[in-house]
Amino acid sequence: MELKEIQRRIRECIAASGLQQKEIAKKIGVSAQTVSKYMRKDVFPALDTFAKLCALLDVKSDYVLGIAEY
């Protein structure tokens, strides 16, 4: 799976959560700008941050990575 598809899934999960980027950033320990980069640029979270993001959004990492369907 390409990074663009992973980013699309991250954006989709963030939108579905109803949380704002600032809220997400605070809860996973990064800046709001960093969350924005995950969504709009070719930047992928560090593995520990990715795990926190998936837990916060209540989504399986396998789905985001394209290993399994939602």
34-60 per-position pLDDT tens digit? 998 888 877 889 999 999 999 999 999
Tell me the H-state helices in the chain.
3-17, 21-28, 32-40, 47-57, 61-64
Q: Does the pLDDT of residue 68 top 80, yes or no?
A: no
Q: Does the pLDDT of residue 70 top 60, yes or no?
A: no
**CA-CA distance, 15 to 2, in Å (whole number)?**
20
Structural contact between residues 37 and 26, judged by C-beta atoms closer than 8 angstroms? no
Q: Can you give the pLDDT at residue 5?
A: 87
| Amino acid making up residue 59 | V
User: Which fold is adopted by the domain 3-64?
Assistant: 434 Repressor (Amino-terminal Domain) (1.10.260)
3-16 per-position pLDDT tens digit? 888 888 988 898 89
- DSSP code, position 1: -
Structural contact between residues 54 and 60, judged by C-beta atoms closer than 8 angstroms? yes
